[in-house]
Structure 1
Amino acid sequence: MVDWATRELAASGRLPLIVRHSGGAQAAHAVLTPDGRAHTFQQLGSGSFVPGVRTYLSEHMLVNPLTLFWESELLRAVGVTDALSRLILHPDALVTTPWHMAANRYREQRRGAGRHGSCGLGIGETQAEALAVPDDALRVRDLLNPRTLPERLNRHRARKHAECPGLVMEAEDEEAEAWIALCQGLLGSATVADPGFLLRHLRNPAAATVFEGAQGVLLDEWRGFHPYTTWSTVTTENAYRLLEGSGAQVVSLGVIRGYATRHGAGPFPTEDAALTTTLPDDTNPENPWQGALRVGWPDLELLRYSLRVAGRVECLAVTCLDRMEAAGAEWKVGDGYENLTLSPGPWQDLGYQESLTESLRSARPLYKTWAGSAEAHAVALAAALERPLAVTSWGKTASDKRGVARALPWPCHWQT
């Protein structure tokens, strides 16, 4: 969807800046270009196939230099050779290291049947370290000082080993040297901006921006179903915080599939094994930490809860309609549960969120059947959620997107 919005803005003569406002390398935003090139974006903006489009990793992002390098090499292989030179970094953004990733996987594997469904990319480890030792947690600005970086990294490594006594990394000293060299190479290509860069951009009346999130709202650290969540805020909160004082005109687009999915452990009331088999997704492969992608029927109660906690969402995009159309014309839709209504609780009350998790484990969906085309299904979803339907998606390319509500204001700053 970000690729589509980027191309729409570029076609209007306004090449947008893509701002990543949450999460880190755990995003998996698959894009297929009209000429057949494919990439699953993690940290770089999903509109990066459009020449000249820049990505800004804000202070709310966790920057992982190693996976950034891997991502840039994958893009180079499909013809995008300047991705890193189009990258702009906030100096205060936290940095994720290979030791964060290793500790994350170590802890998740030790949880056994009680796994949380981690992506294994060190997101929680990075945030937890920043809370525990805020003055010693690595940030982008620390990578600019090659004189002090080795000692900072050594202290970080020692902390991870003290926390995870069984953690083993082969050739660790050599790995540390290589990682420092990789960071210096990254900084030689990317730009570290001053903290006022984004606000100046947003105040420019000729500027366009697309704010790109990382994961679904139901994985939010404070509003998701604890403990099966990410350690980051994935609602619209960070985006609107970055927009404060800009005076920018904004459209907030909520993106949902025509059916439900979950990649990782945790309750999933409308999960259906047959539907999981019918609708495989090669862009979300099975891995040792999350397991396999799970698929279920649309769940209006979860979607309504998502909209209540997400913040400002003016309109909807419904995706994967081509896959629905191929799967059949009759769909079950969960519209509430027996003896359970999901209500947002007090802010940052993880005990309350865990109680919602326990309630969902035994929730019994109340199903109804929607017959008709996939397009009719999208229209019905938007009506049930009381939001205008702005875009439908019938495939992975931008040309597979169909704008429904052309009354949406262009130009504008988009938050997806």
Structure 2
Amino acid sequence: MKRVAIVGSQWGDEGKGKVVNYFSKNYEWIVRYSGGANAGHTIYIDGKKYVNHLLPSITPNGYSKGFLGAGMVIDLEQLINELKILEADFPGISSKIYIDYETFLVLPWHKEEDELRESMRKNPIGTTKKGIGPAYTDKVSREGIKLYNIFDEKLLKERLSEIYYLKNKIYSGKIKSTDKDVFEYLLKVKRDLDKLNVNFASAVKMGDVFRSTSVLFEGAQGVLLDLDFGTYPFVTSGSTMAHGVSSVGFSTFELDKVMGVLKAYTTRVGSGPFPTELFDETGGKIAKLGNEFGATTGRPRRVGWLDLPALRYAKIRSGLNEFVITKADVLDGFDEVKICTKYDVEGKIKEIPDSSYDFYKAKPIYETLKGWKSTNDVNFLKYMAFIEEFTGVKINYISYGPKTEEMCTKNNMIMRIKG
């Protein structure tokens, strides 16, 4: 496979970072095409934990390189911090990172806006307050800064002055970061990026490079948080699906495979509908065993049983044709597990939502399956077979722990099955 996209099949936090890191050694380029610093991808290298919010989940001591695409909104200060952490253990890693000139920047005032807007809402959305929403808002309303602006100081000053004038009017002087503050901030981060030897590039020129080698596209969050097709308004501000590769100049028709990552159960951070959410002792137990806390915010994740109608919805929306299942080991030792197979939506039985609105009205209909002692148990194989039969998507890889190497193919797992 030369061009593969890996996306989240649920509400994010499925373990995409580890999965991308596992496969990255086989690809020359790892491309982040959407999202911002509100997405935390956790990887383990030689037993040490790293949390990347913006960097692609490359293997730092391998040959692969990373590209940050125009569909992202980038907090350059956060990016620099991540690079410095990796540089301490892998000197020269920054020279393997390329940023598209067209990427949009998250600026200090975007974070202020995020807090202000969330505090003003009657019903808060549950934003991470990383400035992602306001940055995407400025992108759409043509009031923002792209990476290439920082290479023209005269134009940058003019742009920032115009933008600050408008923001000052809208927020009645509540924005503390002035245009001069942001200008100095951007000059500083540019100097830092230059010192680290980060590369700047155009996806137009990189297109021929990408098409002549192997590329792994790394998605952010999950399909159910997509701006267009997720549980709006409790979504992120960009594309979380494979279609987002268009921001790097690719079509989904050019992809050889779209892999969806799913947990053996379901989690969600923040507000919004969650049909299979558990509020009992079982939910608390799964959350504790799975260490379900957001990699970016540290907030406890909401926990529920696996939701098959949601997975079928994700399959159709994002063109998923293979699954990787993670955290199956968290359910080790349960006598039985439940799995949602259908929704009751205002009296109508549905195996797949018609639109994201159905998630708000859905009442889960469960089937109960026998639990497993370990992922080498035949009952876990039956659990996966149940998922495959319902969704029509094969599970080819299983993650059974947090470390990158704690992955195996389903065939290898079958060889270890105990009846």
TM range, normalised to the smaller chain?
0.7 to 0.9
Whether the 8 Å CA contact 1:56–1:90 is kept in 2: the answer is yes
TM-score of the two chains, using structure 2 as the length reference: 0.82
Q: Which residue in 1 is equivalent to 2:241?
A: 235
Aligned to 2:118: 108
Aligned match for 2:409, one of 403, 406, 416:
403
* One-letter identity of the residue aligned with 1:258: A
The equivalent of 1:129 in structure 2 is 138
Amino acid at match of 2:57: S
- Structure 2 contact 18–42 (Cα < 8 Å) conserved: no
Query: Which amino acid is 1:315 matched to?
Result: E
SS at match of 1:155: helix
CA contact (8 A) 2:71 2:247 kept: no
Are 2:38 and 1:26 aligned? yes
Aligned partner of 1:316 in structure 2 is: 323
Give the number of aligned pairs.
Answer: 381
CA distance in 2, matches of 1:99, 1:123: 11
Alpha-carbon distance in structure 2 between the residues aligned to 1:5 and 1:362: 34
Change (3 A) 1:227 1:321: same
State which drifts further: 236-245 or 61-70. 236-245
Query: Could you tell me how far 1:72 is from its partner in structure 2?
Result: 1.9
**Letter of the 1:403 counterpart:** T
Aligned ranges 1:208-287 → 2 under 5 Å: 208-239=214-245, 242=248, 244=250, 250-273=256-279, 274-278=281-285, 279-280=287-288, 281=291, 284=294, 287=297
User: What root-mean-square deviation, in Å, do the aligned CA atoms of Structure 1 and Structure 2 show?
Assistant: 2.8
In the alignment, the residues of structure 2 paired with residue 365 and residue 249 of structure 1 have an alpha-carbon distance, to the nearest angstrom, of 34
Q: CA deviation at 1:324?
A: 1.7
Deviation at 1:277, TM superposition (A): 2.1
- TM-score (norm. length: structure 1): 0.83
Map 1:349-368 to 2 at 5 A: 353=356, 356=357, 359-368=358-367
Partners of 2:401 and 2:337 in 1: CA distance: 19
1:145 equivalent to 2:152? Answer yes
CA-CA distance at 1:87 after TM superposition: 1.4
For residues 197-212 of structure 1, what are the structure 2 equivalents within 5 Å? 197-204=205-212, 207-212=213-218
What secondary structure is seen at the aligned counterpart in 1 of 2:221?
Answer: coil
* 1:71 alignment counterpart: 82
How big is the shift at 1:50? 3.6
* Correspondence 1:37 to 2:48: yes
Task: Tell me the secondary structure at the aligned position of residue 236 of structure 2.
Answer: coil
Spell out, residue by residue over 1:365-410, the C-alpha distance to the aligned partner (whole angstroms, 9 max, x if none). Answer: 111111132533233223321111111100122211112269xxxx
Contact in 1 for aligned 2:267/2:304 (Cα 8 Å): yes
Q: Are residues 1:337 and 2:349 paired? A: no
Q: Distance in 2 between matches of 1:170 and 1:202?
A: 39
SS at match of 2:397: strand
Q: Which residue identity lines up with residue 56 of structure 2 in the other structure? A: G
* Aligned equivalent of 2:392, options 366, 386, 397: 386
User: What amino acid maps onto 2:370 in structure 1?
Assistant: A
Q: Is the 8 A contact 1:66 1:98 kept in 2?
A: no
